[in-house]
């Protein structure tokens, strides 16, 4: 049995924060605002994974009212989501994701992002896809006010239920 989940996340860009995407620190004058490291890519991936196994979103699992998650690496949160998925009897077939950002150019960092995610999830690189696109100057992303990410995850059951 296969299950598919979709994830979406968005964060505001601000001065004085590091820009972390896929667990990679990217040199840029702004970073994403959030309770954790605000890694919009990993947040979308986690929501896709949780959705595929019928669980609530990351805001429910890791509430921003809990200081235990203040500035935490989203790679750590991804590892916790993966443990939950395995407890429910699922493995990850593949992940496909898109980062939507006007700046900076992300292509030099995508391989590092894929490697980080593959390592945490114990997956081969060819089962994790990350693309980056712009909005051609349109909307809050195009105006440089924030970034968004979309993800789709396909899970398989270890045993048919």
**Residue list, annotated binding site:** 9-11, 35-36, 43, 57-59, 62-66, 133-136, 140
Query: Where is the binding site for a divalent metal cation, in residues?
Result: 9, 11, 43
Give the burial class of 118: count Cβ atoms within 10 A of its Cβ; 0-12 exposed, 13-18 middle, 19 or more buried: middle
Helices (H), the chain: 40-52, 58-61, 74-87, 110-121, 139-142
- The answer to whether the CB of 11 falls within 8 A of the CB of 28 is no
């Amino acid at each position: 049995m296969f299950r598919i989940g979709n994830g979406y996340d968005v964060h505001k860009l601000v001065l004085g924060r590091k820009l972390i995407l896929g667990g990679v620190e990217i040199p840029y004058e702004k970073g994403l605002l959030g309770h954790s490291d605000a890694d919009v890519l990993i947040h979308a991936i986690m929501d896709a994974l949780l959705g595929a196994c019928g669980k609530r979103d990351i805001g429910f699992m890791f509430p921003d009212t809990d200081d235990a998650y203040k500035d935490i690496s989203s790679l750590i949160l991804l590892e916790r989501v993966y443990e939950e998925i395995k407890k429910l009897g699922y493995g990850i077939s593949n992940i496909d994701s898109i980062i939507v950002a006007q700046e900076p150019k992300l292509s030099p960092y995508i391989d590092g992002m894929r490697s980080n995610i593959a390592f945490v999830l114990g997956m081969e690189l060819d089962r994790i896809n990350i693309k980056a696109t712009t909005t051609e100057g349109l909307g809050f992303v195009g105006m440089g006010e924030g970034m968004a990410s979309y993800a789709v995850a396909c899970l398989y059951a270890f045993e048919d239920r």
